[in-house]
Structure 1
Amino acid sequence: MPDDMNRYFLLATIGFGVSSASVAETVDFSRDIKPLLAQHCWKCHGPDESSREADLRLDVLSSATADRGGYAVLVPGVAAESTILDRVRAHDEGERMPPAEAGRALNEEEIRTLEAWINAGATFQQHWSFEPIRHPVPPLVADAGWSRNAIDRFVFARLSKLGFAPSASAERATLIRRLYLDLLGLLPSPEAVASFQHDKSSDAYESLVDSLLTNPHFGERWGRYWLDQARYADSNGYTIDGPRVMWPYRNWVIDAFNRDQPFDMFTTQQLAGDLSPSPTLPELVATGFHRNTLINTEGGVKADQFRDEQVKDRVDTTGVVWMGLTVGCAKCHSHKYDPIQQDEYYALYAFFNSTQDNNSVEPIELVAEAESRQRWRDLRRRIQELKERIDEATPKLATDGDESAESKELQKWKSELGSLESARDELEDGYPLAMVLRELRQARQTHVQVRGDFLRPEALVTAGTPQALPTMLPSKEYDRRFFANWLMDKDHPLTARARVNRVWMRLWGRGLVETENDFGVQGSLPSHPLLLDWLA
């Protein structure tokens, strides 16, 4: 690790401002044209078939260049024959595009950019974040002595291109303060500062970093960021907002960071720890990630309505956290900007649609040693059996007025039930109960919902992933565990980029992609795309 974090900060601050203001001599589709078309045209001529006008798509080359009866909207290489320019320049409001009610018309600079792009061949490109992750070689730099690792070389190359020289190394008192705040969220003690200032060893900085990464406060600091993404809360939400026991999941997250758990395991255990062949207690507690959804405990609520809202929240959150995609925009209609169709949203929904929770605290798991957990499970199982027997026998005995052996058996069951419930309560008083995910034995069917209304089911769909992303490999079980493995596939273009971007953002205050939750068309372009891919 370098001994001057200020070098990276210089990249993140100066580099962002300059790169966003610079304009290349040639028009770039991703930088100049796609945002223009998305903002002004795609609402009516984009991916969403329900709002598409004139059977025209301006996000697909074949549609934009199709023969429309002797003319074409786009004629690559010949702007003068492309009717899109006639429409955006039209003075007649009935002819001009976009129409007045759609918002601001294109200004002359934007029209000239569009014209230049058409004359240059009107080349379409897939959105950058859906392209495979590249494996760039760190650039060669003039001052190799300044660079201590590959990131430094990316930094130096960018600064040189912009005409900047690296800043001087920060003083050690500044460096240790930055490290403590970034990694622990705490200030160093005066003694720690003095020790670092007087450490003459060549690896003083690296040794300090290693010691802070093993500090228990590291997991608390960095776990907090993840808990924000997990929408962590110690209450159920809505009007009553009653308390819930969610802290076992919080502690699991902190421990995972302190153990430096690999991100693939971190992901799989949170999304599908209960689906492991023999799930351990930590794997079950990890599924608390998706038990952080709201629970409505008000009187008269419809459990199925709020269960549907919970499932949608899980789909939306998973899309944003792991992929940086606003998949939730496709629950009522196909996404108007990104390649996510409405039926693909509900194919994602199907992965999460068969959990046992139903706007409820259950299912739960006793956070205790194996022997106590087994006893607790046995008690709950026997209690449920007795309740079913009592419920079945009570009406019959009440009708017959029977004082026979059956009645005595009923009293025996009730007595046993009371004893078992006391034993269960004693265990639950001594150990916390973690809210976890568990799968139903029989999967629920999933339907596309008309305008996102769960009371208006339409076409039946099965679990699947968007076509714009890597194809799922064949599997016997298309469940949450399969989905987690798909997210972690080495060919997935979004997961690694989204994760390293968030780490960078937490260190520098701004991500290499500024819109950390939106890697789609409406989001920011990466300021340093090669560095982002190298990190990913």
Structure 2
Amino acid sequence: MPQAVSVESLERHCLSRFLRCALWVLLGSLSPQLQAAEDVPAAAPSLTFEEHIRPILKAHCWQCHGAEAEIKANLDVRLRRTLAAGGDTGPALTPGNRDESLLYQYLASGEMPPGDKKLAPDQIEQIGRWIDAGAPTRRPEPASADGLSQITEEDREFWSYQPPLPVPVPEVSDPAWRGHPIDRFLEARRESADLHAVAPASATALARRLYFDLWGLPPTPQQSGALAADASPRAYSALVDQLLASPRFGERFARHWLDIVRYGESFTLRGLILRDAWRYRDYVIESFNADRPYDQFLREQIAGDLLPAVRLEDRRRQLVATAFWAFGNANLEEQDKRQLDMDVVDEQLDVFGKALLGQTIGCARCHDHKFDPIPTRDYYALAGILSSTQRLEHANVSDWVEVPLPLSSDEESAFVRQEATLAELAARVQAKKVEVDQLALAAGASVGDSLAASALPGIVIDERDAKQVGAWTPSTSVKPYIGAGYLHDGDQGKGEKTLTFAPQLAADGRYEVRLAYSPGDNRSDRVPVTVFSADGEKSTFIDMQRPPPIERRFVSLGEYRFEAAGQSFVLVANVGTHGHVTADAVQFLPQSEVSTSPAAKPDEAASAASRQLAQRQSELKLLEKELKDRRAAAPQRPTALSIVERKEIADAPIHLRGSVHTLGATVPRGFLQVVAHAPLSPLPANQSGRLELANWVASRDNPLTARVFVNRVWHWLFGQGLVRTVDNFGTTGELPSHPKLLDHLAIYFVEHDWSVKQLVRYIVLSKSYQLSTATTDANLTADPENRLCWRANRKRLEAECLRDAMLAISGELDLASGGNTLRPSVANDYGYVHDDSRRSVYVPVLRNSLPELFEVFDFPDPSLVVGARTTSTVAPQALFLLNHPFVRKRAQAAAVRLLGAQLADDQARIGHAFQQSLGRAASAAELPIAQETVAAASQSPAVAERAWADLYQLLFASVEFRYSNW
């Protein structure tokens, strides 16, 4: 275990870097009550160069006057000593007098730094105060500025890099708050600030809050009424246990997690669909429902494929979990594959750092992190691990890695039998193709290797006379052919190449049009050929894998009418083809010459072969259809979106300024040094190091992992985290409002076997969670942002909760769990229609086609880590609820359901609608409005449905409906 430090030491050093000092300046402007709070230091620490000044200069000045470029004006700002020595314009520092210090003069005037990297006024003032104080350093400076990017004990003293500390639960004076440890931590802070918590929420309001927080669904009037009838602590605790035991809990908390890991089921470019992504979504839901320990949950996602497994279902789960690494949006068409691989690694490190550790690791790709103790070498130590892990299979358009999921012996036997059946049928199809090809040869006249175009009847346009678009390749590899050879597209430039065969017709008339091509196994089986004639254009597809049936040279494209002065040509294209496209010649045969064509006068053997050919072709079509149908109906071997170890494991070189083409020193694979409180062992040479990375992240000794997650849970339940920057526990993030409580929760979480359900239960059983949203003037003045938790925050429902709530109230919500919800026939995600009634967590997250409700109500960008969603208030939200067909249909269905219920009268129906939608009865002011809305309901059933639908839509459009606690 790393050595613990005292609480006093933690608080003494928690503001040690310049940004923490800047936050202290900000705190100094707050009310006296908050300044006196338990966890805030009583006085700002003295300013030193290492802690407070160098980070500012590093962020704004080092690029020109530090380690990252040639030092301009001979001024090196990396050490206090070199500042005093100065540069071309003299000493930059006069200790004790800011006004005589060139450093302060240039910064205060705005002359430096150039561009948009100006310092903030409080930063300039901080530098001025440091100079006036004599420009002190914390310790003697090194002889050289080299090596300043190394991690020091000073860096590790930042609060989030220190291990969580067990501290006594504080005593409080109010007996009502002496029960739950969470309440004692919060009440102690409130007492020190002379703040008083508001009253508890009503039972119905609390039921609505709890159901939305743990299920993401509104309680029914019966469920709200049950808690109102018995609001005792025992009944409330029993309700919490009931909600945690439901499958709805996993669906709710899984959606939170999917925000963090940028879960998406398609790529924006081309709209390519990740058809196995849903397995990871179901894995996350199942993990929360099973209360899988969070450390195991992380290990499976980071290195599930490398973990041992005894049971088959464990192995499947572990493989599916590794899709964590695979959801990043990428440009699969990038032709610089080294760049693509590194962009993938960069995206993976960004997600890994923010989601699991609350660290902005990606900022160190091109240079040392400007603010946090994450040097570039740490970035590439981690990058080496992920570079030794394969996510993509490269081609012109790269593909993602999919791995087969293991099967039971019975399942494997069934698949073997199925594959044998399909293989036998495929062999019969192939044999029939050979028979058809042989008959096609017998049905034609004997031909030589080549034939001059002039020797053929009609008008023949050889390939050399065709108009070419794109680069076509001449060839004589396959015989026979007409003229000097034929052309092929090289199986490249699909959609970019065409050949136009245009005859010079002497007279109007009807012509049979024939295409000569070179067949072969590597040819396209679906080549688009279009004939332009006097009657318009007609397209057909030619299978160039089969020999041409006429004289082994031609295939007939049909008979057409042409006008000598009109459009007459044949267009061969390679758009949409797979395999080589060939073209040899096009023959325009006048109708009068068709009967005299050699192909029209076969000998007796050829005639018999032709009859057999027709029969065999019919048999082949039936066999091909049977094979196609059986393949379509046969279950597919299950696969998972995943990653695999590369065959070659290697450390990564530093990419100078982030360029994959400018490489520096190679860095051994490893982890973040600032979190390593003991020397790290070298990673195995024959593995990527992901397994060791997983164990490092999920270790009880890692000071970040538990803190970051319990803070996320607090954010999900309270509406804001104890650290509000939930994805950033670095120096640019906010300080925790209650650092001791955060540590208490982290320790509780780990000691309770990393149980998410235990943690949630622990938090929601606190009295602080159960407070109302009421306000008082005194509290608002002292703590307007409710950082001391004296009331419950109003939390707007996420887009998914809004959708699910309307579906639940209308009676249309489909509560089926799991499974693939993507329509199988969809090739890409453009224009996808979301029309099912499953819970929103099962709605496909297609990056180009999200449901409109999601887009209007701040659904997170599925390509980014989003630990805290944006909550906007814009006009389109109200317009959507008032006008969108989705909302109106739900209101109509709710009205039909209400009218079918056994309720005494309209008064009872109004009360039921309000309880369903808002979790409370209608107020005295609202009741007359509701009665007026449904006043015409007695006229007819149709009018009644419309009137009650209007009431439901008014409720759906209300501001209160959009909040879980109003």
Shorter-chain-normalised TM-score: which range?
Answer: 0.7 to 0.9
The answer to whether residue 167 in structure 2 is matched with residue 139 in structure 1 is no
Following TM superposition, by how much is the alpha carbon of 1:221 offset from its aligned partner in structure 2, in angstroms?
A: 0.7
Q: Which has the higher helix share?
A: 1
1:198 counterpart = 2:229:
yes
1:292 to 2:327 alignment: yes
Equivalent residue of 1:163, what SS? coil
CA offsets 1:386-428 (integer angstroms, 9 cap, x no match) = xxxxxxxxxxxxx9x9xxxxxxxxxxxxxxxx9xx99996797
Q: CA deviation at 1:74?
A: 9.0
Match in the other structure for 1:26:
43
Distance between the aligned counterparts of 1:505 and 1:178, measured in 2?
Answer: 14
Query: In 2 relative to 1, CA 163–284 (structure 1 residues): closer, same or farther, beyond 3 Å?
Result: same
Give the equivalent residue in structure 1 for 2:569: none
Deviation at 1:311, TM superposition (A): 1.8
Q: Is the 8 A contact 1:324 1:520 kept in 2?
A: yes
Aligned to 2:848: none
Once the two structures are TM-superposed, the CA of residue 449 in structure 1 deviates from its matched residue by: 1.2
CA distance in 1, matches of 2:305, 2:366: 30
Question: How far did 1:38 drift?
Answer: 4.3
8 Å contact from structure 1 (residues 472, 486) kept in 2: no
The CA distance in 2 between the partners of 1:513 and 1:336, in whole Å, is 21
Task: Pick the aligned partner of 1:251 from 282, 293, 302.
Answer: 282
Note the C-alpha offset of 1:174: 1.1
Q: Does 1:44 align with 2:61?
A: yes
Aligned partner (choices 337, 355, 358) of residue 321 of structure 1 = 355
Contact 1:159 1:165 in 2 (8 A): yes
- Residue 239 (structure 1) aligned with residue 270 (structure 2): yes
- Please give the secondary structure, in 1, of the residue aligned with 2:640: strand
* Aligned counterpart, 1:153: 184
Q: Equivalences for 1:331-480 in 2 at 5 Å? A: 331-358=365-392, 359-366=398-405, 369=408, 371-372=410-411, 429-430=635-636, 432-470=638-676, 471=678, 473-474=680-681, 477=684, 479-480=689-690
Q: Secondary structure at the match of 1:203?
A: helix
Task: Check 1:188–1:449 CA distance in 2 against 1; reply closer, same or farther (3 A cut).
Answer: same
Normalised by the length of structure 2, the TM-score is: 0.44
Would the aligned equivalents of 2:60 and 2:118 in 1 still touch at CA under 8 Å? Answer: no
Matched, 1:275 2:335: no
SS in 2 for 1:447: strand
Structure 1 counterpart of 2:497? none
Q: How many angstroms apart in 2 are the aligned matches of 1:515 and 1:37? A: 24
1:493 Cα deviation from its structure 2 partner? 2.0
Tell me by how many angstroms 1:431 deviates.
Answer: 5.3
CA contact (8 A) 1:132 1:493 kept: yes
What are the superposed Cα offsets for residues 435-465 of structure 1, whole Å, 9 maximum, x if unpaired? 1222123314422112222233322222112
Say which is worse superposed, 179-188 or 438-447, in terms of deviation: 438-447
Residues 238 and 190 (structure 1 numbering): CA distance in 2 closer, same or farther, change over 3 Å?
Answer: same
C-alpha RMSD over aligned residues: 4.2
Is the 2:160–2:703 contact (alpha carbons within 8 Å) kept by the matching residues of 1? yes
Q: Which amino acid aligns with 1:336?
A: K
State how far apart, in whole Å, the 2-side matches of 1:445 and 1:377 are.
41
Given the alignment of the two structures, is residue 111 of structure 1 paired with residue 125 of structure 2, yes or no?
yes
Whichever residue aligns with residue 468 of structure 1, its letter is V
Cα deviation, 1:199-224, whole Å, max 9, x if unaligned, reads 26541111111110111111111101
Higher mean Cα deviation, 197-206 or 66-75? 66-75
**Which moves more between the two structures, 242-251 or 66-75?**
66-75
Residue aligning to 1:8: none
**In the alignment, what sits opposite 2:711?**
501
In the aligned structure 1, how far is the partner of 2:201 from the partner of 2:380? 52
Q: Is the 8 A contact 1:129 1:520 kept in 2?
A: yes
- Matched AA of 1:155: L
In the superposition, the TM-score normalised over structure 1's length comes to: 0.76
Q: Tell me how far apart the structure 1 counterparts of residues 203 and 378 of structure 2 sit (CA, whole Å).
A: 52
Once residues 468 and 233 of structure 1 are traced to their aligned partners in structure 2, the CA distance between those partners, rounded to angstroms, is 32
Q: Distance in 1 between matches of 2:246 and 2:345?
A: 37
Q: Distance in 2 between matches of 1:218 and 1:458?
A: 49
Tell me, yes or no, if structure 1 residue 186 matches structure 2 residue 217: yes
Query: 1:235 Cα shift?
Result: 1.1
- Residues of 1 paired with 2:70 and 2:198: CA distance? 52
Asked if 1:56 is matched to 2:262, the reply is no
Deviation at 1:100, TM superposition (A): 5.5
Give me the whole-angstrom Cα distance separating, in 2, the residues matched to 1:147 and 1:377: 66
> Mind listing any 5+ residue stretches in structure 2 that lack a counterpart?
1-25, 36-40, 140-153, 393-397, 423-476, 480-623, 747-966
How far did 1:324 drift?
Answer: 0.8
Which segment is superposed worse, 503-512 or 181-190?
A: 503-512
2:44 aligned partner, one-letter code = V
The structure 1 residue matched to 2:738, chosen from 511, 528, 531, is 528
For the residues of structure 1 that align with 2:188 and 2:707, how far apart are their CA atoms? 21
CA-CA distance at 1:280 after TM superposition = 0.9
More strand by share: 2
Work out whether residues 385 and 651 of structure 2, in 8 Å CA contact, stay in contact via their aligned partners in 1: no
- Cα 1:461–1:106 change in 2 (3 A) is closer
Runs of at least 5 residues in structure 1 that lack an aligned partner in the other structure: 1-16, 58-62, 384-398, 402-417
Are residues 187 and 441 of structure 1, via their aligned partners in 2, closer, same or farther at CA, if it must alter by over 3 Å? same
